Structure 1
């Protein structure tokens, strides 16, 4: 793709508008997970080292175009300053006199955090006048918020058309990782798709069967596919109204020569709780009053064997009810095997999605994956083969 990076930009003495995603969880006034803030540090550091003056644009929660004091980015300014390790000033608006005054007062080596862009309804409407007001604050635009790139908002899409633009370090890493996984991957390619519902991932599955060599389906989704094949699944979580769609996806996989891996053995229980009594059974032996909560060891062996023959792995979603033991066993075992192959230089592994990140962290495998995306919707839409407005705008800017 033709998008530019920070290496292509002259930033010395320039005010740099940086779209970031620091929509972090806050409880009782304290940030409970600083991951998203930590990940923008390389971009901010590089801008400062190039003599630029970083001005951060960000949203926080969902104020729906109104000023909601509890959703002010001012509440996390101190945490942003601690994570970045440089002085961070704050402006009480992202446009207008307050923003212009704060930009003018910004000293070398300092960062400015502007107030929540979503306090203005024009942000989510991708309003050109609002985008122009943002653009008036700076001379260069950097998008470092891949997780918001699937939204055509003023600060993610329109702004890139108004200023010289490039990808930040986090955006660059995301795009390169996804290009390596789905754009021009080293084959064979294996995809793991888990989670509860087929209905939320129809487009994803339909795209992947045309792109990968092997598709592993796990979690509650696998139950729907099993039911589509006439397998009795007891009281398991499943979408019985989606069995026709599941059958269509299986047929499409056959036409595309994509191997589908479904459970061949299952871990079942009569209740869903920590430490519940469970047993491992053949896939066609689920009791009528039991539920499938994880894949069994024979299934894990098939999955890890697929990893052994793969050169690229894409992972979205757990293989079972990973939140509680013992139903995390399949996810943990498969994740650790993938991490070991990656660490040995034998596999390029890219993972993303909220539950996926949590599952890989639970397995202690996340750090050994090639890349783990913190983006949710944007990661899924990329895997679905959709054009992301924020990325498209950067590509167009790179071609100007």
Structure 2
């Protein structure tokens, strides 16, 4: 994987840098309630601004479908960006952009209105990409989380100007390269969550690339049932039994172990304080449901983590949102964090529930890298080409 970064940029003073960021942040009553995404792209903005570039931010917000929707304006977000940067952030619509940029001093920051207000944005319209390009001298993509979309501001624009990866994009790509591109073996993947149906492509790709896949959460029930285990009232996609068996066959062919739970924490209902018991997976009482992996299964997972040099994690091992069904996820996450802190493990994790689960375990900061990219992270793990990344690898124009 080869792409240019900010390290390849010299003499930035006075240059107009178009920077694609993802600041699609949660809002309530006109105020940003979580500035994490802004904080992640701040280093790129500050570096470019500090070197005298005129920084022009391109970003989307919500799904306005090519129409101007007042409540999806980025104008209120500009104030939050200003607060994080501790730097004045100007704001303009695309129609106002040329005039606004002409007034910028070196180091100024300008946020343009929601790219998805433009009908050509999600169609990757070449004319719109050219219009964006006319406003800048170079293009920086720092929005990995939008890199799986071939839009005018994420892919098309990269072919119109010299293109570079921002610091967040660079960090993400380097972490993923360590995780799957050129990993230190053995590589173990933990894949959990509710349904196999949402992760068929992911599992099919991983079993060909890693040494072991630990299957957890509701997904594990589908695999257990496919092998003849009666999981009683547990969440299970029985209709995907054949798919599960095919994934196991692919894994065997590739020399990859599929690791399933051997015991489970069961209860009659999924609610806090529900009476629970630990049983072997083939001895789930009638009417009960599996809600977490049991202690023997946790020890099995930990032994695989201990053997690994690289760990990729997507999805919890149980219904971690409610105690005591968080025990397996917390124990495995803390053990992975311990080995990472000791310098014995490269650990890369991502996906919405995964981030929440690692935060719940108090170890998100101890993993080598935790991606907040969601869909882009999953598509990367599925082995799919991400248009925004491919465009950077092509180096853009120049």
TM class by shorter chain equals over 0.9
Aligned partner of 1:393 among 350, 374, 391? 391
Equivalent residues in 2 for 1:164-313, closer than 5 Å: 164-313=162-311
Residue matched to 1:22 = 23
> 2: distance between equivalents of 1:348 and 1:287?
39
Residue matched to 1:8 = 8
Residue matched to 2:335 = 337
Distance 1:46 1:269, change over 3 A: same
Is the 2:159–2:397 contact (alpha carbons within 8 Å) kept by the matching residues of 1?
no
Deviations 1:268-293 (A, max 9, x none): 11111112111111111111201111
Q: Secondary structure at the match of 1:199?
A: helix
> 2: distance between equivalents of 1:133 and 1:109?
22
> 2: distance between equivalents of 1:285 and 1:72?
55
Is the 1:86–1:109 contact (alpha carbons within 8 Å) kept by the matching residues of 2?
no
Q: Secondary structure at the match of 2:107?
A: coil
Query: Post-superposition shift, 1:397?
Result: 1.4
Is the 1:3–1:399 contact (alpha carbons within 8 Å) kept by the matching residues of 2?
no
> 1: distance between equivalents of 2:260 and 2:40?
35
Deviations 1:240-262 (A, max 9, x none): 11111000001111111101111
Is the 2:160–2:397 contact (alpha carbons within 8 Å) kept by the matching residues of 1?
no
Is the 2:161–2:397 contact (alpha carbons within 8 Å) kept by the matching residues of 1?
no
Q: Secondary structure at the match of 1:253?
A: helix
Deviations 1:184-229 (A, max 9, x none): 1000000000111111111110010010001000011101001100
Q: Secondary structure at the match of 2:169?
A: helix
1:367 corresponds to 2:365: yes
Query: Post-superposition shift, 1:46?
Result: 1.0
Residue matched to 1:47 = 48
Residue matched to 1:87 = 88
Q: Which runs of 5+ in 2 are unaligned?
A: none
TM-score using structure 2 length: 0.98
Deviations 1:31-82 (A, max 9, x none): 2211100000110111012221111100001101100000000021111111
> 2: distance between equivalents of 1:275 and 1:29?
37
Residue matched to 1:66 = 67
Is the 1:224–1:240 contact (alpha carbons within 8 Å) kept by the matching residues of 2?
yes
> 2: distance between equivalents of 1:204 and 1:383?
6
Distance 1:155 1:265, change over 3 A: same
Q: Secondary structure at the match of 1:129?
A: helix
Which runs of structure 1 show a deviation greater than 6 angstroms over 4 or more consecutive aligned residues?
Answer: none
Query: Post-superposition shift, 1:110?
Result: 2.3
Residue matched to 2:34 = 33
> 2: distance between equivalents of 1:367 and 1:230?
40
Deviations 1:315-335 (A, max 9, x none): 000111111111111101100
TM-score using structure 1 length: 0.98
Query: Post-superposition shift, 1:398?
Result: 6.2
State the Cα RMSD in Å: 1.0
Query: Post-superposition shift, 1:22?
Result: 0.4
Is the 1:4–1:398 contact (alpha carbons within 8 Å) kept by the matching residues of 2?
no
Q: Which runs of 5+ in 1 are unaligned?
A: none
Of 106-115 and 213-222, more deviation after overlay is shown by: 106-115
Equivalent residues in 2 for 1:111-130, closer than 5 Å: 111-130=109-128
Is the 1:190–1:306 contact (alpha carbons within 8 Å) kept by the matching residues of 2?
yes
Q: Secondary structure at the match of 2:197?
A: coil
Aligned length, in residue pairs: 397
Query: Post-superposition shift, 1:311?
Result: 0.4
